[in-house]
């Protein structure tokens, strides 16, 4: 049970939940996703009840939860188009995120209610044709307000994950010298178990990222350390010291994951982990 009284108003309860997540140190992207999904849930419940406000207890009625999940599964709550069309069914991991959010909110409220979380399944991967289409879109489409360099770095990371079957942490330590786009008969990248051939599409995306990366590292004073994945802009000052210039350090794994989640959600309409783009089904 929570140590605080449960707010009567549903909107106030949602804001309180998001505030608690921030106090507990949850990242911005997690809080943003939780807020978006609970806002979607509240909006749907208000429409179903044909009212302007709901109490917290009314909102957490399982009838509202079931109706929301059914509408979301059918694509009825979607606000933007996707590569599969505006009426495409929701991805499996999107529904899992909704259920996880609902359960976390119920726990915050001290309610014993829980929705059953479906197992991860086929919906966690795209078909090869869909993966190719999404990779091409990531490489050329920059959502409003997005940083061009970050978007292209994200596309390059995703393309390598898809082409090599390696995870982001496994590709994190690559250097520029590991990439040989002029190798014949195929471009290749050096992995820990030897060279791996790259398809033309992946090579083209990597070449564009290397061009942008060169423009960033040109501003460095001294030798380029050679990290393949670098921050695209300075970080925040810490302990009163200026952050290192982009290129002096590797981009953190969490940074690459966060950028991927943000860009894919904006372009695809649903969050997808990098491994969802594997061109060979695991």
- Residues 201-255 have pLDDT tens digits of 889 999 999 999 998 888 877 778 899 999 988 766 666 677 777 878 889 888 8
Residue 5 pLDDT > 70, yes or no? no
Residue 122 pLDDT > 60, yes or no? no
- pLDDT value for 10: 94
pLDDT bucket at 1, cuts 50 / 70 / 90: very low
Beta strand 179-180 with 194-197 is unpaired
* Percent of the chain whose pLDDT exceeds 90: 38
Q: How does pLDDT run across 249-276, given as a tens digit for each residue?
A: 889 888 888 888 888 877 776 667 777 7
The per-residue pLDDT of the chain, averaged, comes to: 82
**Rounded mean pLDDT of 3-19?**
84
- pLDDT value for 41: 96
């Amino acid at each position: 049970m929570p140590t605080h009284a449960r707010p009567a108003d549903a909107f106030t309860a949602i804001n309180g939940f998001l505030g608690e997540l921030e106090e507990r140190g949850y990242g911005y992207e997690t809080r943003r996703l939780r807020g978006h999904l609970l806002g979607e849930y509240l909006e749907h419940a208000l429409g179903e009840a044909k009212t302007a406000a709901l109490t917290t207890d009314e909102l957490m009625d399982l009838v509202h939860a079931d109706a929301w999940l059914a509408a979301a599964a059918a694509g009825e709550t979607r606000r933007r188009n996707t590569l599969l069309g505006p009426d495409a069914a929701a991805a499996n991991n999107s529904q899992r995120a909704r259920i996880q959010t609902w359960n976390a909110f119920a726990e915050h409220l001290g309610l014993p209610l829980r929705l059953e979380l479906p197992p991860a399944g086929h919906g966690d991967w795209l078909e090869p044709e869909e993966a190719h289409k999404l990779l091409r879109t990531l490489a050329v489409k920059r959502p409003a307000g997005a940083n061009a360099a970050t978007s292209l770095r994200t596309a390059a990371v995703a393309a390598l994950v898809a082409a090599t079957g390696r995870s982001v942490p496994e590709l994190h330590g690559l250097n520029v010298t590991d990439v040989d786009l002029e190798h014949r008969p195929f471009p290749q990248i050096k992995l820990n178990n030897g060279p791996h051939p790259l398809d033309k599409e992946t090579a083209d995306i990597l070449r564009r990222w290397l061009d942008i990366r060169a423009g960033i590292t040109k501003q460095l004073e001294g030798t380029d350390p050679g990290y393949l994945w670098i921050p695209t802009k300075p970080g925040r000052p810490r302990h009163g010291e200026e952050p290192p210039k982009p290129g002096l350090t590797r981009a953190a794994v969490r940074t690459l994951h966060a950028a991927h989640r943000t860009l894919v959600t904006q372009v695809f309409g649903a969050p997808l982990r990098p491994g969802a783009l594997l061109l060979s089904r695991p």
